[in-house]
């Protein structure tokens, strides 16, 4: 353990902190065989992929079950084999569905163990402290320990609560977090169901969360719960419209609501949608944080004013489920953001050589760490600011953008120029239009975009805030 | 096939409902094996309100401003959903449809302006 120059630390406490295990330190001081084996494993996986990709692209082999770049191919091979064995069609269908659903479940399940740890460690880094590091290596088992603790806690059911409705929300709130994964494409063949109305499906599924939240607040029969539920519902329904509008622009430009086709469009033109539609991407990202109740938009569970918001009365594992679903939603939103705006599982040709699901996972983690960054940086917004931001800023500008994109999509379908020039000009037009509209909005709404430099003035006159405001003048 | 695709969604839905029940079931198992305590008493089961006794039921009237936003949501979200079929098809359509869609969206925008002017979007 005494690998660090602990003698340089001044006090015993600092020395103790320096000696605590960290991920980087463990990687550095791992035994040489472990290091070599890990590096060989990662390199071998990538080399195997590249080799298969080379053989397949070279035309010597078709894509087969051994093609690890696309796990859907393996499932296809399994179902083909079952058909050859004379298994009834229903059983084949059920098998492929259950294999896919197990994949989705294991992803979310593993994430619910790793996610809280990652978030707490990242937040701790932002706040210059250690974070969980006691349970297991680097505190990795922290969330497992939390889950076991929550399961052992006494379940308190308030007398005033509705006896039936009280039990539905903790289970039902998980449905949108898991069902949204159905349409996310992980690789060309690796989608659970590639619905042709995928965009509408995601919007519909994300609206389901409102029901569980309001059910929880109403069934608890608690003033805090009801307040939190009302706030959350008002916020969620308001921010659903910017999401619909921004996805409308995406669907319009790609002429498709199938998520795999949206990814294929971006791969085809070698451009990410965030470049062409910067405002739509921003609206989607910000509205999503409101949709999943994450900071800075977690006014519905603002612990400094209304205890825990809509799940105040839920104790033990039921409350734990409400906390867990926030993380599950966060990576779902990351996946949707990556698919719609960041190119999905494609990466300018890299997806031929390494698996698409690894690329998508990397993008999801990037968006997720951006969420963590937001949480560590921004304070919570007030409810009237939030509603005003949705209704007076995001919705009007999104509507203008939708109409401009409609014209652009018609142009794209008719003009026979190379995509680079057309889409490049669209990107420039949209970016400048966004900047113009935001500045116009700011000046019309009398919000100064440039902060006046003010010198702090001590209140010299007794009279409180009003007197202080009167004597404060811009320098 | 559309029923097959949504059948898969249905299977995922069923599994999504069972997934959160697993920890709840384990919690119940702990209760049966006496690991988890369960000693209800009237004070513990009272409605939580930071130490003071809760006044009255919360199943009553609440502020009407939430209602205004819910109305706005219904109007706008349904209309945006109506725009989707047009959005997917319109690139191949004649340019006249763009004008019609502009009229539709203009009416929507008028509604927003009306609500704004009536101060329905203010949080009072």
Q: A153 vs B36: CB contact, 8 Å cut-off? A: yes
Q: Please, which residues have CB within 8 angstroms of residue A133's CB and are 6 or more apart in sequence?
A: A20, A21, A22, A139
Q: Which of chain A's residues have a Cβ under 8 Å away from the Cβ of B48?
A: 158, 222, 224, 307, 312-313
pLDDT digits (tens, 9 = 90+) for A59-103: 666 666 667 777 777 788 888 888 888 888 888 888 888 888 888
| CA quadruple A257, A291, A266, B98: dihedral sign | positive
What number of residues does chain B have?
A: 124
Overall average pLDDT of the A370-374 stretch: 90
Count of CB pairs separated by less than 8 Å, A with B: 217
Nearest to B20 among A171, A403, A407 (CB): A171
Distance CA A421, CA A409 (A): 14
| Nearest by CB: A226 against B24, B26, B58 | B58
| B23 touching chain A per CB within 8 A | yes
Mutation for A interface: B76, B101, B120, most A CBs within 10 A:
B76
What DSSP character marks residue A197? T
Residue A72 Cα, gap to closest chain B Cα (Å): 15
Q: Is the dihedral of CA B43, B46, B49, B55 positive or negative?
A: negative
**What is the enclosing helix (H) or strand (E) of B86?**
helix B65-89
For residue A296, say if its preceding peptide bond is cis, omega within 30 degrees of 0.
yes
Q: Is the pLDDT of residue A469 over 70?
A: no
Greatest mean pLDDT among A61-75, A289-303, A328-342 lies in A328-342
Rg of chain A, C-alpha, whole Å: 26
Residue B45: its H or E element: none
Please tell me the number of Cα atoms within 13 Å of A34 on its side-chain side. Answer: 6
Task: Delimit the domains of chain A by residue range.
Answer: 153-444
For residue A475, pLDDT over 60 is answered with no
Burial (Cβ within 10 Å: 0-12, 13-18, ≥19) of residue B45: middle
B20 and A321 in contact by Cβ < 8 A? yes
Q: Which candidate from B13, B57, B121 shows the least CB-CB separation from A175?
A: B13
Residues 76-105 of B with CB under 8 A from A: 76-77, 80-81, 83-84, 87-92, 95, 98, 101-102, 105
**Nearest chain B residue (CA) to A234:** B66
Domains delineated in chain B? 65-117 (1.20.58.1610)
**What does each C-alpha distance from A330 to A61, A100, A116, A334, A369 come to in angstroms?**
39, 21, 11, 6, 10
CB of B67 less than 8 A from some CB of A: no
| % of chain B residues with pLDDT over 70 | 98
Residue A472: the pLDDT is 60
- Rounded percentage of chain B residues whose pLDDT exceeds 90: 0
**What pLDDT does A450 receive?**
55
Instruction: Place A363 in a pLDDT band, splitting at 50, 70 and 90.
Output: very high
- The ipTM of this complex is 0.87
pLDDT at A2: 44
- Which of these ranges, A54-68, A154-168, A294-308, B109-123, has the smallest mean pLDDT? A54-68
Q: Does the pLDDT value for residue B12 go beyond 70?
A: yes
Is B114 touching A (CB cutoff 8 A)?
no
Residue A171 scores a pLDDT above 70: yes
State the pLDDT at residue A311.
Answer: 84
Residue numbers in A near B35 (CB within 8 A): 152
pTM for the full predicted model: 0.83
**Which chain B residues have a beta carbon less than 8 Å from that of A256?**
88
Work out the widest C-alpha separation in chain A, in whole angstroms.
Answer: 92
DSSP character string of A367-412: HHHHHHHHHHHPPPPPHHHHHHIIIIIIHHHHHHHHHHHHHHHHHH
Cβ neighbourhood burial of B66 (10 Å; 0-12, 13-18, 19+): middle
> Using CB atoms, which residue from A201, A223, A391 is nearest to B121?
A391
């Amino acid at each position: 353990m005494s690998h660090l120059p602990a003698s340089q630390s001044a006090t015993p406490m600092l020395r103790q902190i320096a000696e605590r295990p960290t991920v980087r330190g463990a990687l550095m001081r791992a035994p040489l065989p472990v290091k070599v084996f890990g590096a060989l494993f990662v390199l071998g996986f990538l080399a195997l992929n590249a080799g298969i990709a080379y053989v397949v692209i070279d035309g010597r082999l078709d894509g087969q079950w051994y093609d690890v770049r696309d796990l859907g191919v393996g499932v296809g091979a399994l179902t083909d084999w079952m058909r050859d064995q004379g298994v009834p069609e229903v059983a084949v269908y059920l098998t492929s569905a259950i294999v896919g659903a197990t994949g989705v479940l294991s992803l979310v399940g593993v994430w619910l163990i790793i996610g809280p740890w990652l978030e707490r460690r990242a937040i701790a880094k932002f706040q210059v402290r250690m974070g969980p590091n006691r349970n297991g290596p680097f505190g990795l088992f922290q969330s497992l320990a939390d889950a076991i603790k929550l399961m052992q806690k006494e379940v308190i059911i308030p007398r005033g609560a509705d006896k039936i409705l009280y039990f539905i929300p903790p289970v039902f709130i998980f449905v949108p977090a898991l069902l949204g994964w159905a349409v996310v494409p992980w690789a060309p063949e690796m989608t659970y169901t590639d619905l042709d109305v995928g965009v509408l499906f995601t919007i519909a599924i994300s609206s389901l969360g409102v029901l569980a939240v309001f059910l929880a607040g109403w069934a608890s029969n608690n003033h805090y719960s009801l307040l939190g539920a009302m706030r959350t519902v008002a916020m969620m329904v308001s921010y659903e419209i910017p999401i619909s509008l921004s996805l409308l622009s995406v669907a319009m430009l790609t002429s498709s609501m199938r998520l795999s086709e949206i990814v294929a469009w971006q791969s085809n033109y070698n451009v990410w949608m965030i470049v062409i539609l910067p405002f739509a991407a921003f609206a989607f990202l910000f509205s999503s944080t409101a949709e999943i109740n994450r900071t800075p938009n977690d006014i519905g569970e603002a612990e400094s004013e209304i205890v825990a918001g809509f799940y105040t009365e839920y104790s033990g594992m039921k409350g734990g489920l409400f906390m867990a679903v926030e993380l599950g939603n966060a990576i779902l939103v990351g996946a949707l953001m990556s698919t719609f705006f960041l190119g999905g599982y494609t990466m300018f040709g890299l997806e031929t050589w390494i698996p698409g699901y690894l690329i998508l996972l990397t993008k999801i983690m990037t968006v997720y760490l951006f969420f963590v960054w937001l949480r560590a940086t921004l304070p919570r917004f007030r409810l009237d600011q939030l509603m005003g931001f949705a209704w007076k800023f995001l919705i009007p500008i999104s509507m203008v953008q939708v109409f401009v994109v409609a014209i652009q999509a018609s142009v794209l379908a008719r003009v026979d120029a190379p995509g680079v020039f057309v889409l490049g000009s669209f990107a420039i037009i949209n970016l400048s239009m966004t900047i113009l509209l935001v500045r116009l909005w700011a000046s019309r709404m009398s919000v100064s975009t440039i902060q006046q430099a003010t010198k702090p003035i001590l209140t010299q006159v007794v009279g409180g805030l009003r007197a202080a405001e009167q004597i404060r003048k811009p320098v | 096939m559309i029923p097959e695709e949504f059948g898969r969604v249905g299977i995922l839905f069923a599994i999504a409902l069972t997934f959160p029940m697993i920890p709840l079931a384990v919690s119940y198992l702990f209760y049966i094996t006496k690991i988890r305590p369960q000693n209800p008493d009237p004070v513990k089961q009272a409605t939580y309100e930071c130490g003071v006794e809760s006044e009255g039921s919360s199943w009553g009237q609440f502020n009407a401003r939430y209602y205004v936003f819910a109305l706005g949501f219904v109007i706008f979200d349904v209309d945006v959903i109506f725009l989707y079929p047009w959005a997917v098809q319109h690139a191949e359509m004649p340019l006249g449809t763009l004008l019609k869609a502009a009229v539709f969206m203009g009416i929507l925008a008028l509604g927003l302006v009306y609500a704004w002017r009536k101060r329905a979007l203010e949080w009072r």
